[in-house]
């Protein structure tokens, strides 16, 4: 093991300032103070000097000590003993594990070629951009273009893609809460999912909750409108001006209805449209039939309500929309392009209180050796022929194409996969198809903190240390630089997967490409763009270091700059790039394949709409439901349903119910909630974990288990991005309490 990484010894007693790892997207998280007694991390509190959270912390972050001392942790390397699909492993030494891994990678490279080696990183809590870059660099040094950061590229990525394709910019145009008079929460989990963070603009995602900023602004008189099939917690306690309970998967129709009304009534920003948009006439003609009455029939929202919403939004100069991933996936092009069009059309782009672009002072990182790939190697990236992948500039292996290539071998079948903190068997659609794909691999190595359903297809499982056990990791957002520090030494034989990646490179003879395996040198290079030395950052205490803010950060209406990548430098109301690629130029609502308008026949047998919500305050995707303090708050996998609907089907709160779609079944508990559309059943993704301390056993991710992903039509995909539908129709029936199940594959 890399000895330098361990050079600074952990304190045995005291309070260590580090960053929270209850969630993670771009590496910069809430500040946390970890208490250590006799070498044990006993408890945590928020760091009052950290600008993102100023001492605030959410339930996930506060359960950190249970996350670290989780009895389910894998504490030493494991080698497969039983057949794939089972969780039978035997303990082996790190030496044996690394030898096996190095040999497999060598064999694959020599026998097939480097592109047959694939790496993937999930949305694991606490696994930072530094990891992302290190893995990329290793892969490129090996000669493989196939890095598949799959979670971001099957949910968040596609929507961002359409956003940028329509209104340009470096990333999403995010709500400027500080100045907004009207805040539209569009299918967000509002108040759930990391609520302690200070503002969405500080992280590279729109999933983050931004409770404080929104609440501050509401206190100052701003109005809140919630567009969601359910009444989210943010809308509680009389905060919400209006709740628009939309049918899941029909969000695009609502936007089109608003656009139609806004154009018809001339409520759009004529000045902005004439100066900065192209294709207005085509759009206006196209949406002519999308009246509020049409939208009402599709969305289940009254026409009058749609008109009111359109009027309120269009006539409030400082109006911001916070949107998350609406469950309109197969038909994502419609929602993904219509929403930014609505923002632009009404002049709400990059103006105070509207949706604006944020830019950090600097970007940490190092060269990932992309240039080392030959033209041939670059062309071998899986899914590289997609417009979606090409448009990103730098090749990445597109997850749906990875799965397809594993299953049918086209254009070729990867042989070896390195999987970092990811659990696609549970979180991707459809689980049994993912399992089938992973079975095709010669060798799958998984780095994780616990075993999970995906481990059943791994040949080798390496025990990852949590961030609290790893050394220096500089993190930057905006102009604030903070350090993630080691709180305690790794438990058991766990290792920082960064050092494992570096060791691996060294053993493969790629030492010179990866800092001769020296973690500290790598971290220095990563930090270099900030101009701050590693020593200074290490000594910066809980306050961290503030960089000089980039000039022009407060500037708005930066259209010349942010539209520069768009054809003619204008917002694409009529999208020329999409036309050029042979796709529809204007948002056209088609709906999800299994909804009320597209599948009326199906509805006779499966009467209720089904979708699921993302992470909440008590879990991180498929992680953390094994932490008792969090699991206490929500013990069983569940669906939410309106009490009247339940009555119709003879169901009562707390019943175990079988939820059956045309594609699969799951058995979960029924929670009744009056703040739910009556035609909709809402599940939650990520369930499988048991919690031994609470006597709760692990449950299946496959058909008949507790995973909503088995219910969807996995082959209903957005033709451009490959995003998979997460809408279907279901029927319910009462079920006896389920038996405990293994995490292994279904029998037979």
Partner 1 sequence: MVRYGLVINLSRCIGCHACVVGCKNWHGLPAGGPGRIRILDFTLGTDLDINRWILPLPCMQCEYPPCLAVCRFSARVKGEDGILKIDSKRCVGCELCVLACPYGVIAIRTDTHKADRCDFCCDRLAQGQNPLCVDICPGEALIFGDLDDPKSAIRRRMDHANAKTLLKKHRTESRVFYTGLQAFLGFPDAVKILEDEIRGHASSG
Query: Interface with partner 1 by CB under 8 A: which residues?
Result: 42-46, 48, 55-59, 62-66, 190-192, 195-196, 209, 211-212, 215, 218-219, 231, 233-239, 243, 245, 617-618, 628-635, 671, 673-675, 691, 693-694
Min dist. Cβ of residue 572 to partner 1 (A): 36
Q: Give min distance, CB of 65 to partner 1, in A.
A: 6
CB of 632 to partner 1, least distance (A): 6
Rounded to the nearest 10 degrees, the angle between the axes of helix 519-527 and helix 129-142 is 110
Q: Is 94 or 673 the residue whose CB approaches partner 1 more closely?
A: 673
Respond yes or no on whether the N-terminal peptide bond of residue 411 is cis (omega within 30° of 0).
yes
Of the two residues 300 and 471, which places its CB atom closer to partner 1 in the complex? 300
Burial class (CB in 10 A: 0-12, 13-18, 19+), 469: buried
| Nearer residue to partner 1 within complex by CB, 537 or 630 | 630
**Minimum CB–partner distance for residue 211 and partner 1 (Å):** 5
Three-class DSSP category at 548: coil
In 3D space, the residue among 174, 314, 310, 185 whose CA is nearest the CA of residue 239 turns out to be 185
**For partner 1, the closer CB: 47 or 727:** 47
CB of residue 210 vs partner 1: minimum separation in angstroms? 10
Q: Specify the residue, 482 or 532, whose C-beta has the smaller distance to partner 1.
A: 482
Between residues 501 and 684, which has the closer beta carbon with respect to partner 1? 684
Which CB, 509 or 654, lies closer to partner 1? 654
Please, what is the Cα angle at 127 between 123 and 130, to 5 degrees? 120
Long-range CB pairs of 102-106, under 8 A, 24+ apart, other chains included:
102/504, 102/507, 102/508, 104/416, 104/442, 104/443, 104/445, 105/142, 105/416, 105/504, 105/508, 106/508
Q: 748: which residues sit within 8 A by CB, 6+ positions away?
A: none
Contact assessment for residue 625 and residue 631, using Cβ atoms and an 8 Å cutoff: yes
Q: 129: buried, middle or exposed (CB in 10 Å: 19+, 13-18, 0-12)?
A: buried
Rounded to a whole number of angstroms, the minimum distance from the CB of residue 629 to partner 1 is: 5
The least CB distance from residue 69 to partner 1, in Å, is 12
**Toward partner 1, which CB reaches closer, 345 or 691?**
691
Shortest separation between residue 195's beta carbon and partner 1, angstroms: 4
Spatial separation of the C-alpha atoms in residues 721 and 331, rounded to whole Å: 10
What is the per-residue DSSP string for 629-676? HHHTTS-S-EEEE-HHHHHHTT--TT-EEEEE-SS-EEEEEEEE-TTB
Contact of 504 with 98, CB cutoff 8 Å: yes
Could you give the CA distance from residue 702 to residue 710 in angstroms, rounded to a whole number? 6
H or E segment at 117? strand 117-121
Least distance (Å) between residue 694 CB and partner 1: 5
7 vs 236, beta carbon nearer partner 1: 236
């Amino acid at each position: 093991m890399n000895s330098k990484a361990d050079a600074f010894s952990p304190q045995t007693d005291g309070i260590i300032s580090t960053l929270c790892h209850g969630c993670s997207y771009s590496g910069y998280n809430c500040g946390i103070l970890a208490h250590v007694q006799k070498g044990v991390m006993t408890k945590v509190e928020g760091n009052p000097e950290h600008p993102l959270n100023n001492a605030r912390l959410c339930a996930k972050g506060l359960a950190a000590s249970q996350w670290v001392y989780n009895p389910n942790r894998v504490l030493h390397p494991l080698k497969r003993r039983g057949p794939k699909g089972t969780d039978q492993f035997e303990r082996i030494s790190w030496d044996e594990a690394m030898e096996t891994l190095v040999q497999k990678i060598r064999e694959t490279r020599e026998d097939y070629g480097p592109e047959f080696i694939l790496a993937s990183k999930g949305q694991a809590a606490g696994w930072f951009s530094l990891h992302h870059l290190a893995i990329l660099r290793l892969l490129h040094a090996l000669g493989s273009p196939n890095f598949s950061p799959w979670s971001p590229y099957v949910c968040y990525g596609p929507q961002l893609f359409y956003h940028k394709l329509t209104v340009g910019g470096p990333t999403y145009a995010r709500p400027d809460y500080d100045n907004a008079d009207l805040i539209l929460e569009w299918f967000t989990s509002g108040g759930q999912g990391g609520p302690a963070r200070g503002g969405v603009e500080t992280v590279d995602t729109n999933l983050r909750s931004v409770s404080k900023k929104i609440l501050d602004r509401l206190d100052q008189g701003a109005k809140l409108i919630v567009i969601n099939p359910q009444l989210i917690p943010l809308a509680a306690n009389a905060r919400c001006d209006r709740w628009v309970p939309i049918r899941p998967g029909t969000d695009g129709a609502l936007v089109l209805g608003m656009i139609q009304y806004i154009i018809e009534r001339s409520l759009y920003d004529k000045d902005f449209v004439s100066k900065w948009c192209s294709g207005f006439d085509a759009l206006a003609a196209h949406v002519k039939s999308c009246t509020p009455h049409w939208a009402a029939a599709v969305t289940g929202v009254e026409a009058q309500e749609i008109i009111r919403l359109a009027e309120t939004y269009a006539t409030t100069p400082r109006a911001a929309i916070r949107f998350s991933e609406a469950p309109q996936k197969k038909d994502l092009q419609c929602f993904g392009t219509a929403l930014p069009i609505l923002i632009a059309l009404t002049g709400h782009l990059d103006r105070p209180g509207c949706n604006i672009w944020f830019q950090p002072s600097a970007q940490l990182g190092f060269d990932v050796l992309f240039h080392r790939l030959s033209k041939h190697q670059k062309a071998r990236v899986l899914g590289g022929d997609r417009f979606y992948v090409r448009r990103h500039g730098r090749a990445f292996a597109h997850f749906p194409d990875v799965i397809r290539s594993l299953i049918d071998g086209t254009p070729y079948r990867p042989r070896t996969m390195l999987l970092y903190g990811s659990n696609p068997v549970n979180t991707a659609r459809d689980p049994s198809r993912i399992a089938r794909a992973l079975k095709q691999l010669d060798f799958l190595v998984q780095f994780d903190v616990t075993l999970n359903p995906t481990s059943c297809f791994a040949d080798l499982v390496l025990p990852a240390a949590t961030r609290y056990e790893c050394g220096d990791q500089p993190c930057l957002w905006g102009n604030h630089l903070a350090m993630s520090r080691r709180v305690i030494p790794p438990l058991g034989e766990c290792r920082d997967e960064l050092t494992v990646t570096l060791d691996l490179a060294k053993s493969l003879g790629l030492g010179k490409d990866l800092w001769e395996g020296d973690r500290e040198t790598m971290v220095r290079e990563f930090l270099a763009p900030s101009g701050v030395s590693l020593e200074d950052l290490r000594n910066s205490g809980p306050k961290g270091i503030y960089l000089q803010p980039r000039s022009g950060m407060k500037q708005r209406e930066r259209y010349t700059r942010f539209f520069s990548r768009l054809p003619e430098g204008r917002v694409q109301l009529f999208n020329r790039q999409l036309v050029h690629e042979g796709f529809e130029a204007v948002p056209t609502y088609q709906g999800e394949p299994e909804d009320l308008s597209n599948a009326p026949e199906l509805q006779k047998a499966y009467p209720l709409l089904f979708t699921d919500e993302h992470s909440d305050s008590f879990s991180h995707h498929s992680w953390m439901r094994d932490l008792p303090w969090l699991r206490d708050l929500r013990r069983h996998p569940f669906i939410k349903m309106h009490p009247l609907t339940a009555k119709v089907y003879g169901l009562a709160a707390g019943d175990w119910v079988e939820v059956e779609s045309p594609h699969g079944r799951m058995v979960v508990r029924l929670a009744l909630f009056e703040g739910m559309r009556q035609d909709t059943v809402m599940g939650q993704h990520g369930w499988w974990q048991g919690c031994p301390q609470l006597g709760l056993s692990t449950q299946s991710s496959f058909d008949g288990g507790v995973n909503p992903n088995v219910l969807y039509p996995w082959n209903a995909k957005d033709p451009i991005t490959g995003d998979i539908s997460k809408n279907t129709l279901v029927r319910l029936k009462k079920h006896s309490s389920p038996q405990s199940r293994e995490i292994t594959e279904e029998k037979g």
